[in-house]
Amino acid sequence: MRVPQTLLALLLTLCQLAASATSLNKPAAPISRIDPTFWWVGMKNPKLQLLVHGPGLATSRVTMAAYPGVTLEGFQRLESPNYLLVNLTINSTAQPGKLQLTFNGKQKTTYAYELRARTTPGDKSKVQGISSADFIYLLMPDRFANGDPTNDVVKGNRPPGLARDSMYARHGGDLKGIEQHFDYLKELGVTAIWPTPVVDNNMPKAGYHGYALTDYYAVDPHYGTNEDYVRFVQHAHEQGLKVIHDVVLNHIGSFNYLWLDQPAKDWFHQWPSFTRGNYRNGTVNDPHVAALDRKLFSNTWFDTTMPDPAQENPLVETYLIQNFLWWVEYTGVDGYRVDTYTYSDPTFLMHWGQAILDEYPQLGMFGETWMQEAEGVAQQAFWTRNVFPPVNGFKSNLPGAIDFILRQALLESLTKPAGFAEGVSKLYYAVQGDWMYEDASRNVIFLDNHDVDRVFSVLGEDVNKQKMALAWLLTERGIPQIYYGTEVLMKNFSRPDGLLREDFPGGWPGDRQNAFTAAGRTPAQQDVHEYVRRLANYRKTHPVLQTGQLTHFVPENGVYTYFRHNAQGQSVMIMLNTNAAAKQVALSRFEERLKGFKSAQDVLSGAPVPNLQTANIPAHTALVWELR
């Protein structure tokens, strides 16, 4: 029987109304996320600020089911209709479990927020800290080794896959790839791994580098999952390797959900049009500074796709502090490297550093304090714990800096003739400036990294100079850091095409060369690799090169001589001949440090040195002698 068209239309209308009524009555949860994603009982600071996000959430009222030891202090609406702040106090009696938070708005939603038991206080394998006893290996996860092809393509990412022929695309390296080469790193003498940021960077271009994060609470899926990262840190600790977590305080990526749906306009520094910073950190302590120049340093964007959080906003400050406490407790990492440290709001930096160190006093922390030579040691020391009084209310509590000034001095020593204040004399004066630091041994010293030209290229691909630079790196005061591939003579410059971030040879199936193995290295690569391995492992087993006092002598005739020595009578003598010709040096000048010693052993060759009267140093060579 045919149904009349009018009746059919009526039935369809009734069905649609019924379906609509059913959908309106569904308890569809409006909450898309809560930051932090979970928390712990027993933290020293009992206060917790939850940033809750969901469509139209701001109209809700928040209640909490009774939970012993936890108090709901209230909630706060923000400018956006899609956010609520929920403030809790978690006192020392609270136990792990799930808080029942109810959001009563257009829809009623209950959320079970997890409180976990802490693991870092009683586990000595976690948060071990970073010190001058360590030797750091800096690598870019995307460019080191591909251990898990299943995460090469990530649906929804911008772009989703790989293109190894492009320096600005992803190449496929991941956490598993690093882990598969733990043995390589240990054999080299490495004690700590510093990967560039592993957090999510779902950006359309150059997301591989990690410095434009799009989710504060997620590992980049091209590297693995959050749980994979926790296991990575655990496995590194089991293998005697520490892990440094690279963090960015100053900026985020423009595809971060906090920028795409801003909690409030005052969560970010915003200008009528894009305004790039002037990169002048001296404006912070310049007594003659123009207000505009000061603002153009701290309140502008680092780059076109890197929004600048307004850290002077106390809500933003709390959000950031909680995030970086979260990563330490969640993973047990041993240290923080702080990207673009000087660009953040100075007051925020003091509050952030104090909060992190109050909770984790053993955590190693050092910051990127990128200085040009003209800025000098004093400006670099200003951004760390130093001997200066506060300036404009700022007194840094950062334990150590990445020592750009010392690197520039070392490179000048190896590339320019010696003079009263030129060449190797620059190195002497840079070290002489250590009096300005609270403890210069907490500084990280380096030859190259992911932002500067590879040292082998800077040195004109001179193997002897490369080895001399490495000898300095592993005998100077501070925490030595080597960039991946420096030990096998990887080369190239940062401009114009970023080739300083090429893949480590052998990290991908089918690579024509595998520099992870001795058989896969050229003779020159093997020579330098063995040089690093021998000296780094000597340093690892001889505390005098880790914590020994440094005594140096003013360079003469292009030769710089210094000693590392300790109260136990151990002493190592280092001589750097920066000349293009061999030098014979009478050792009587160094009597104050040679007194009581009769002979020595060459650390690198193993050859005995029968007397301490003269030293014959080949051109562009470092001597490293253990005094006997």
Sheet of 33-35, strand order: 33-35, 47-53, 83-90, 70-77
Segment 240-276, tens digit of pLDDT: 999 999 999 999 999 999 999 999 999 999 999 999 9
On the 0-12 / 13-18 / 19+ scale of CB atoms within 10 A, 553 is middle
Outline where 67-132 has alpha helix (H).
Answer: none
- The verdict on whether 339 is a catalytic residue reads yes
The amino acid present at 101, given as its one-letter code, is L
CATH topology identical between 33-116 and 546-627: yes
Closest CA to 441 of 487, 390, 384: 384
**Dist CA 484 CA 501 (whole Å):** 9
- How high is the pLDDT of residue 8? 37
Pair of tokens at residue 339 = 């990207």
Segment 311-360, tens digit of pLDDT: 999 999 999 999 999 999 999 999 999 999 999 999 999 999 999 999 99
Under a CB-based contact definition with an 8 Å cutoff, are residues 71 and 87 in contact?
no
Mean per-residue pLDDT for 532-554?
Answer: 98
- DSSP three-state, residue 48: strand
Question: Is 616's pLDDT higher than 80?
Answer: yes
**Dist CA 95 CA 189 (whole Å):** 42
Can you give the pTM of this predicted structure? 0.94
- How high is the pLDDT of residue 30? 84
Catalytic entry in 142, 220, 368, 448: 368
Mean per-residue pLDDT for 413-431?
Answer: 97
The CATH number of 546-627 is 2.60.40.1180
Segment 481-512, tens digit of pLDDT: 999 999 999 999 998 888 999 999 999 999 99
On the 0-12 / 13-18 / 19+ scale of CB atoms within 10 A, 449 is buried
Closest CA to 247 of 212, 197, 306: 197
**Dist CA 88 CA 94 (whole Å):** 12
**Dist CA 304 CA 295 (whole Å):** 17
The amino acid present at 240, given as its one-letter code, is G
**Dist CA 154 CA 152 (whole Å):** 7
- Triad 225, 258, 88: Cα angle to 5°: 85
Under a CB-based contact definition with an 8 Å cutoff, are residues 381 and 405 in contact?
no
Closest CA to 156 of 209, 200, 195: 200
Catalytic entry in 142, 148, 339, 487: 339
Question: Is 24's pLDDT higher than 60?
Answer: no
Closest CA to 99 of 141, 70, 61: 70
Residues 6+ apart with CB under 8 A from 369: 281, 341, 342, 380, 383, 384, 401, 402, 404
Q: What is the CA radius of gyration of the chain?
A: 28
Segment 115-142, tens digit of pLDDT: 999 999 999 999 999 999 999 999 999 9
Closest CA to 159 of 145, 151, 170: 170
Segment 578-607, tens digit of pLDDT: 999 999 999 999 999 999 999 999 999 999
Give percent above pLDDT 70 in the chain: 95
CA distances (Å), 377 to each of 44, 243, 299, 404, 563, in order?
36, 28, 25, 9, 22
- How high is the pLDDT of residue 107? 86
- How high is the pLDDT of residue 6? 39
Band of the pLDDT at 7, cuts 50, 70, 90?
Answer: very low
Segment 32-43, tens digit of pLDDT: 999 999 999 999
**Dist CA 563 CA 627 (whole Å):** 10
Domain positions in the chain are 33-116, 136-246+263-268+308-544, 546-627
Per the prediction, the chain carries an average pLDDT of 95
How far separated are the first and last CA of the chain, in Å rounded? 111
- Triad 132, 138, 141: Cα angle to 5°: 145
- How high is the pLDDT of residue 10? 38
**Dist CA 77 CA 54 (whole Å):** 12
**Dist CA 459 CA 620 (whole Å):** 11
Would the CA dihedral through 192, 197, 198, 199 be positive or negative? Answer: positive
Which of 3.40.50.300, 3.90.190.20, 3.40.50.280, 3.20.20.80 would CATH assign to domain 136-246+263-268+308-544?
3.20.20.80
- How high is the pLDDT of residue 29? 53
Which helix (H) or strand (E) segment is 413 a member of?
Answer: helix 404-415
Question: Is 22's pLDDT higher than 90?
Answer: no
Pair of tokens at residue 603 = 């650390």
Domain 33-116: top CATH class: mainly beta
**Dist CA 479 CA 501 (whole Å):** 23
- DSSP three-state, residue 8: helix
Pair of tokens at residue 272 = 């009528």
Alpha-carbon 191 to chain mean position: 16
Mean per-residue pLDDT for 457-475?
Answer: 98
Band of the pLDDT at 20, cuts 50, 70, 90?
Answer: very low
Question: Is 11's pLDDT higher than 90?
Answer: no
Segment 154-201, tens digit of pLDDT: 999 999 999 999 999 999 999 999 999 999 999 999 999 999 999 999
**Dist CA 316 CA 235 (whole Å):** 34
- How high is the pLDDT of residue 13? 40
